[in-house]
Amino acid sequence: MRALLNRRQASLLTWWGASALAGARGSTALAADAPNAPVMPIMHDDARDLMEIDPKKFSRPTVVDNRWMPLTPGKQLVYEGHTIEDRKRLPHRVEYTVTDLVKVINGIPTVVVYDLDISNGHMEEQELTFFAQDDDGNVWHLGQMREAYDEEDYVGAQTWIVGHLEGAKAGVMMPANPRESTPSYSEGFAPLPFNWTDRGRVRKTGEKTTVRAGSYDNLVLIEEWSSTEPAASQFKYYAQGIGTVRVGWGGQDLTKEVLELVKVTQLGPDEMAKVRAAAQKMEERAYIYASTKPAERRG
């Protein structure tokens, strides 16, 4: 799910900015359907404070064991909820799978995550996202490829990868030790036409929520937004040992996406083979990969 659920798009081929997560049945924080949930965007030039990634600080980059965002091969998280499109409430489903593929990006081996986005019963998007964990435990986002579909007919795709797109920068998707009242951080940057300018900040810790997959406490709530939509926020609730368990929105978010975790599964060999094949087919269609080495199965 969009580098786990950053799924707002300006158009099918001029990809989005921010993200949208929150809403909590039983949460003490923001309500899932609250259009006036408080949003406190930081106005700034995103290019000023982008982070530089140091390959020397990634001795075991594909061992992503950050307690808030663990990425173990075969892990699949399934989310269900809804979005608003043309004033209609449409059912939405996201299948987020950690593959057993590794792709080297800018000298750093990364974990490949495959994300399938289903809207109103039809595949709307599928995406590959690339993550690596540094030696301090921060999970970095090094790029992504997204394909768009209309009633399952292929529409187009966009890809950006650090080191293979001028101006693209890696960002942190999950800090090692998320704490309240710390500065916002870049979740990666890609210039036009990709237009990825997402930022995040820790909004609250110690939250609670109940979703169909279970009840969780001691959650971390992260607010995300984009410079292209500074008045709209996405809220993500992260549970230890799981990852995101709830998604909601705040401010002037037009899609009003709401998702909750419904199932956590460890895929078997046959299911993993299908996911791997789908990810590899996406790579074959991505023109930018002509300059990168294809993702390979873990040894």
Distance between CA atoms of residues 284 and 96, nearest Å: 20
Alpha carbon distances (Å) from 159 to 103, 260, 275: 14, 27, 19
Reply yes or no on whether the pLDDT at 271 is more than 50: yes
Most confident of 51-55, 225-229, 244-248, 284-288: 244-248
Positive or negative, the CA dihedral 66, 74, 273, 159 is: negative
Reply yes or no on whether the pLDDT at 293 is more than 80: no
Range of the domain at 47: 2-297
pLDDT of residue 40: 45
Q: How many domains does the chain divide into?
A: 1
To the nearest whole percent, how much of the chain has pLDDT over 70?
Answer: 82
Mean pLDDT calculated for residue range 59-81? 98
* Alpha-carbon 86 to chain mean position: 24
Mean pLDDT calculated for residue range 146-167? 85
The per-residue pLDDT for range 162-216, each reduced to its tens digit, is 988 888 999 999 999 999 999 999 999 998 878 889 999 999 999 999 999 999 9
Output 281 or 15, whichever has higher pLDDT. Answer: 281
By DSSP bridging, strand 139-150 and strand 153-161 are: antiparallel
The per-residue pLDDT for range 227-250, each reduced to its tens digit, is 888 888 999 999 999 999 999 998
